[in-house]
Amino acid sequence: MSPVPNVLFVSVENALRSQLAEACLRHVSKGRFNAYSCGMPGRLAPTVSPVALEVLHRAGMPIARLSPKSWDLFRVSGPTRMDFVISLDAETASEHPAWASQPELALWSYPPLLWTLTPVTNRERRAEQVLLSLQRRIELLVSLHAKVKHRSELRSDLRDLAYM
């Protein structure tokens, strides 16, 4: 495992869920983890969701380095080797590429937030709920990681966090 573990959060568009997770891990871990996010090539959003940026801003979490990125940047030939890859929807969990360094994989499934059907206040409320759920899981991941010597010791815990 890297001295500072690398965690990649994956969602289809890399606009909201994975961006929330990346910013949350960066905030909660205080440098004990490197956080990244990505999405599926050809399906990426052009920008980070304004709702995600607003929710993160209100939560006091960093938004400066957030941008949609393709998972092609993190594949086997990519420069950054991941220790953990967490898919945030079933589609990316089943279709992702081979990752460099054979990271521990987990699925923390969150349904897509269908913005066209809800008013802005409901969108923000739903995004806040996702962020709070992610934050609980991420806080436990950071705490559990402090107690292990090798990433494989976290394998079942990482997957069990999906059932919170």
CATH number, domain of 16, equals 3.40.50.2300
Looking at per-residue pLDDT, the higher value among 159 and 32 belongs to 32
The tokens for 134 are 């992610």
Over residues 127-146, the mean pLDDT reads 93
The number of residues in the chain equals 164
Residues 94/42/66/85 CA torsion (nearest 10 deg): 20
54-68 mean pLDDT: 95
Is there a domain that residue 162 lies in? no
Q: What span, in angstroms and rounded, lies between the C-alpha atoms of 124 and 128? A: 6
In a domain, 161, yes or no: no
Measured between alpha carbons, how far is 63 from 118 in angstroms, rounded to an integer? Answer: 24
* 164 lies in some domain: no
How many folded domains does the chain comprise? 1
Name the nearest CA neighbour of 108 among 51, 52, 157. Answer: 157
- E-only strand ranges, 104-144: 104-107
Q: What range does the domain containing 29 cover?
A: 6-156
Q: Is residue 1 part of a domain?
A: no
69 sits in the region (left: phi over 0; alpha: psi -120 to 50; else beta) called beta
Whether residue 106 lies inside any domain: the answer is: yes
Q: Looking at 27-31, 97-101, 103-107, which range is the least confident one?
A: 97-101
Residue 142 counted as domain residue: yes
Q: Is residue 60 part of a domain?
A: yes
Q: State percent of the chain over pLDDT 90.
A: 59
151 found inside a domain: yes
The pLDDT value given to residue 135:
98
pLDDT tens-digit map of 68-96:
999 998 887 667 789 999 999 989 988 88
